[in-house]
Every structure is written in C-alpha cells, then in structure tokens.
Amino acid sequence: MKRPELVVAGGTAVVTGAAGGMGEHIAKGLARRGADLVILDRDADGLARVVADIGRETPGARVTSHVVDLADRAAADAVIARIRDAHPGVTMLFNNAGVAVGGRFTQVDAEDFDWLLEINLLVPIRFTRALLPLMLENGEGQVVNTSSLFGLVGPPGQSAYCTSKFGLRGFSESLRSELEEEGKPVGVTVVHPGGIRTNIAVNARVAGGVDPAEAERNRRAFAKMLSFPADKAAEEIIEAAVARRPRLLIGNDAKALDTMARISPSRYWSVMSRAMALAAKRK
C-alpha cells in the first residue's frame, strides 16, 4: 500500500535527543514546516537554547520540552506517559537520542552495556509502544528511528553500540512490515547516518578496561570521520519521513559500506579499517 505524503503542518512531533546535533535541527526543521513540538533531552541548558532558538526563528511555534535522563527507566516512563496523555494528536515520533560506549565486548562491563541498550534500543521501543496507538487512531503517522552506519556493519570495538543499532534496525523493519501487511496508516522510516558532525564521539563513554591512550586514538579517528553537517542530515531525515521512505542512508560512507556489506559481508571490515587508519593520521 502506497501511503500519501505525511502532513507535517498542524501535526505534533516528538523528538528525543533534541538539545543538539541532528535532534536540534530536526526539531527546528519541523517547526519551520508548521508542526507542534514535544522535545526531550537530559541537557537542560541545551534544550532551553533550542526552545529559545525556535521561538526566535519560528514565532508562534508551539514547543513543549522535557528534561529527562532516558537511562532512568522510571523517569523516562513517567515522561512517556505524560506525553501520551497530554498530546493525543501526535503524528510523528523521531527516536533520535543515542549514546556510545567505546570498547570491545570483553572491556565493556554489564552496567555500561545495559545503559547503552536502555537509551539506544529500549527507550525507542517504549516510546513507540505508547504513541503508536495514538497515530493509528489519528489516521496518520510516521515513526522515524535513527539507527546508524553501525546498524549496517559491525566493526571491532563497537559491540555494545552495534547491538543497539542492529536491534533498532530489526525492530523498525519488522514493525514496518507488520503495519504494511495490516494496511495501517502509519509508516516506519529507519535512518542509517554515516559520519555526522555531532558530539557523539566526544561524549562517548570509555569502558573501564580500555587503555586511555588507545581510547584517545580511537576517539580522534572517529571524530575526524564525522564530517557530514548535522543540519543537512536533519533535513534529509525530515524529507524521508514526509515521503514515507522505509530506509534512509546518509552520507557516502554509509552508502558505500552498505553496498560493500551486502556484496562481501565477510570482508568489508578490512576496507573500513584502512580508511580509519588513514583518518587517524590526518592532522
């Protein structure tokens, strides 16, 4: 079933991780298109800045903000319930918030692994469970889940992150298939950004078992690969949601590695590792 384009103006969009990076620009782009917003982040100052920016750039835009640490299940569930009850007109859900933990599986302890899974995978599932019924009742909606390049390929040192992002990809694809098979008016877009210029590498936790010098080398290598502008990525995400696209790859790195992983699923890492080694040497 081919659905009509999503109507943004007059709808209500929920955006997690909205205090910076892609989430900030998704929120601003939706406000410019006439949506009411419900935005969340644990960064109170950053969230207040985004609210002020939207008020200045898009006068009249209605914005509700919630400061919440999504790793705190009780607090997150309370906010999810509050949003569900206060905003029955929700038609868009952008599960954008994400965190990273650097380290191999044997270096990342269970606490850090669970912390990452909670934010990157379980929170999007719980948001979707709460808000999908509203979208179905409203007769229109789109769930947009931000996976990653590392939801397409699995490099060493990213076992926790890849687990969450492959999981979010699988959840998104299966949910989309179910909704399509049932002829429902809600679609699902899964987004696989490549190297987007955000602070995720800077803010990543480092597992206790990782050598500090190794962690810093890896952080610099990843940071140098983050070159795609966050505002441009956000516009691509919004347009993909409007067009009801099932899948969006952002950046040449994501597109190339997706192709490579499908053509040679057992050898793509050798190429990726050489690219990262070159990036680490750049000044």
Asked if 115 contacts 93 with a C-beta cutoff of 8 angstroms, the reply is no
Q: How far apart are CA 212 and CA 166, in angstroms?
A: 27
Q: How far apart are CA 121 and CA 267, in angstroms?
A: 27
Report the DSSP beta bridge partners of residue 187: 142
Q: How many CA atoms lie within 13 A of 66 on its CB side?
A: 21
**Residue among 94, 113, 161, 171 flagged as catalytic:** 161
Q: Return the structure tokens found at 105.
A: 């599986």
Q: From edge to edge, which strands make up the β-sheet containing 12-16?
A: 63-67, 36-41, 12-16, 90-95, 141-146, 186-193, 247-250
Q: φ, ψ for residue 64 (rounded to 5)?
A: -115, 130
Asked about 161 being catalytic, the answer comes back as yes
Q: Helical H runs in 8-154?
A: 21-32, 44-57, 73-86, 110-117, 123-138
Active site residues: 161
